[in-house]
Amino acid sequence: MGTLRNNPFFLTRLPHNKDLAAAIGDAFKEAGVPTGWFSVIGATKKAILAFYDQAEKGYRELLFPMPGEIVTCTGNVTTLDGKPFVHAHITIGFSDGTTRGGHLMKGTVLFAGELFGVAFEGELERVYDEVTGLRLWKP
Ligand code: ZN
């Protein structure tokens, strides 16, 4: 059903009008893969990205309320608080050919998406890191 699997890789079509980060999480869940790496190409109807302010230790949101091409979106699925967690960075191309990029936030809506996933065995857990203020992989 729109998914090709050749362990440890899989290809999946992402659904129209769905939140991109949630769709990536669902694709891994449906493939039965709790830990992995991915790449997505496609298009967005609107996008919310973020820039991590290293001094303030907080995300600054960047809203792009127009259609765009997903030039590249890459990231991973690992474990946070016992649940699968999607971390993605994205570059979006706009109608004038310019690109913008950053950390993918909730609220980015898919027009279309094609995901290439790589499965890993086992779990990689995220924990809070005092130095960066981020939830990084357990050392
Ligand atoms: Zn990030």
Distance 96 CA to ligand 1 centre (A): 26
Distance 103 CA to ligand 1 centre (A): 4
Give me the phi and psi of 81, to 5 degrees please: 50, 40
Alpha-carbon gap, residue 40 to 43, rounded angstroms: 10
User: What per-residue confidence (pLDDT) applies to 2?
Assistant: 61
Among 16, 15, 20, smallest CA distance to 38 is for 20
Residues forming beta bridges with residue 81, ordered by sequence position: none
Distance 86 CA to ligand 1 centre (A): 10
Among 83, 89, 95, 80, smallest CA distance to 108 is for 89
Q: What is the pTM of this model?
A: 0.94
Distance 61 CA to ligand 1 centre (A): 12
Distance 47 CA to ligand 1 centre (A): 15
User: What per-residue confidence (pLDDT) applies to 22?
Assistant: 98
Average pLDDT across each block of 10 residues of the chain; the chain has 139 residues. List them in order.
73 97 97 96 98 98 98 97 96 98 98 97 94 95
